[in-house]
Amino acid sequence: MKVLCGYNVNIDAVYTITGEDISDLLKMVDKDELLEKIYDGPGEIRSITDLVAGLVLHMQKGTGAEWFIYSDDVFHFLKSRYYEKSEIRLGGNMGIMANVMSHMGADQVVMNAVGDINSIKALMSGGNIIFSGESVPQDTSTSKDANEIIHFVFDFSSGTRFNVFGTEVMVPRENRFIATYDDINTELTITPEFEEYNREHVTEVDGAIISGFNQLQRIYPDGSGYTERFEKAHSQLKDWKQRNPDLLIHVELGHFMSMDMGVSIFTELVGTVDSIGMNEDELVMLAELHGVPSEMIRKMDACAIPDACVRCASSTVLKKIVLHTRDFIMSIFREGTSSPLHEMQSMQFGVMCAAAFAASGKLPERSQLEGSVSDLARSKEGMKQAVKLQDLIGGEQFEGGVWGAYGDYSVCILPTIICEKPVSTVGLGDTVSSATFLRWLELIGTNEGKQRLEV
């Protein structure tokens, strides 16, 4: 399989934050200002108080989020306080997905190489990667530190406790809060080398997996908005499709700065790409399109999720939505797009890759994948939700999950494999999505696979 990957890659500094760390940070901020910002989260980081508010807000809810840093002082504070104590990993949706697909068997992965690519190469375990672009475009920098694309990832664990000025907080579930310092991926930079390579070779490619739209900013320092930057990338996807109508394009949505940006970009993409992947928080972001109560989705109610996904896709030509959560992965697809067998087998591959990575922080060799997760168990909550969905759609148990029909769509749900004490939760969504997409390309690329789609 030959795969194109765009657009974002960076360095992740992963730090497991404790209750004691939060207590120390609380000593640095004003009580009234912090409580006000916890109540009405700023969604971005311009001060230490903003940083602490984001951490507390999402730790007390057990939700994941990414806020951008717009202060060199805060960046230097984080770098001096946490960088040396962090685990330095490959980051960025594209970077992680390119590495996963290369490591797990893709013949060739072509990557939009932005940032300090030599530092990033050292963090990648996969081979067969073509790095299209070797330098940082200088005109994209708006800060003296712009070449340092560092995303500070604060992992937090279920059960972590701390006190916020007299209020006891206990984290309900593990997740992560990301403080992002990045002037390159926020521009959705596409290297000239990546553009040129794909114009010449896109007809030879089987699939493309795209991410990074969530890095776009509502307003840039020059006063411009995100539309022009998005349209440049969107035009590239349209050009690929025109040159190679058989090319399958999957987009990972990601966490946007605002709901209206997410809805707007989703609405534009559904007319071009074949499938879109997201987690439950990102599906909540699309509430304007589906109208399903947010609390039902955040509870990961497997009956509410297909309803929301079908409502998002039904008025478009989008073929498939893949929803990945901690406890299950679900595929909702139109007739002729795939088959239940292809979906279950590809999702199972993705789930095993994510579980192996969660348990060890690295990917096993493909031949050792099944054995690497043999001691781990299926999510009990995922199995419960699969049974619940089966009752709703009159589905049947199939390949370890459940398959059935929901209106004009097929729905497949598969419980995930859980690591109770993960090395990190960072990149698990990208891992499961890219591994699932790779396996799906392999399955439908066979003669048997093509025959199954024609039946």
Q: Grade residue 117 by pLDDT with cuts at 50, 70 and 90.
A: confident
Is the separation of the CB atoms in 347 and 454 below 8 Å? no
Q: What is the sign of the dihedral through the CA atoms of 255, 258, 261 and 262?
A: positive
Given the candidates 3.40.50.300, 3.40.50.880, 3.30.1110.20, 1.10.3210.10, the CATH classification of the domain at 11-89+142-181 is: 3.30.1110.20
| Residue 409 β-bridge partners | 334, 406
Give yes or no for residue 447 having a pLDDT over 70: no
Q: What angle do CA 42, 54, 36 make, to 5 degrees?
A: 55
How do 248-252 and 10-16 pair as beta strands? unpaired
Query: How many angstroms separate the CA atoms of 279 and 261, rounded?
Result: 17
pLDDT value of position 421: 87
Q: Grade residue 455 by pLDDT with cuts at 50, 70 and 90.
A: very low
- How high is the mean pLDDT of the chain? 93
pLDDT value of position 140: 39
Q: Which tens digit of pLDDT belongs to each residue from 58-92?
A: 999 999 999 999 999 999 999 999 999 999 999 99
136-163 average pLDDT score? 72
325-332 average pLDDT score? 97
pLDDT value of position 386: 98
pLDDT value of position 454: 42
Least confident of 14-23, 137-146, 336-345, 445-454: 137-146
Q: Give the domain ranges of the chain.
A: 2-9+94-138+183-454, 11-89+142-181
Given the candidates 3.40.1190.20, 3.30.540.10, 3.30.70.890, 3.20.20.60, the CATH classification of the domain at 2-9+94-138+183-454 is: 3.40.1190.20
42-49 average pLDDT score? 96
| 3-state DSSP percent of the chain in helix, strand and coil, to 5 | 45, 20, 35
Is the separation of the CB atoms in 117 and 133 below 8 Å? yes
pLDDT value of position 13: 96
Secondary structure (DSSP) of 329-397: EEEEEEBTTB-HHHHHHHHHHHHHHHHHHHHHSSPPPGGGHHHHTTT-EE-HHHHHHHHHHHHHHT-EE
Q: Which tens digit of pLDDT belongs to each residue from 215-231?
A: 999 999 899 999 999 99
Q: Which tens digit of pLDDT belongs to each residue from 372-385?
A: 999 999 999 999 99
Query: How many angstroms separate the CA atoms of 172 and 58, rounded?
Result: 10
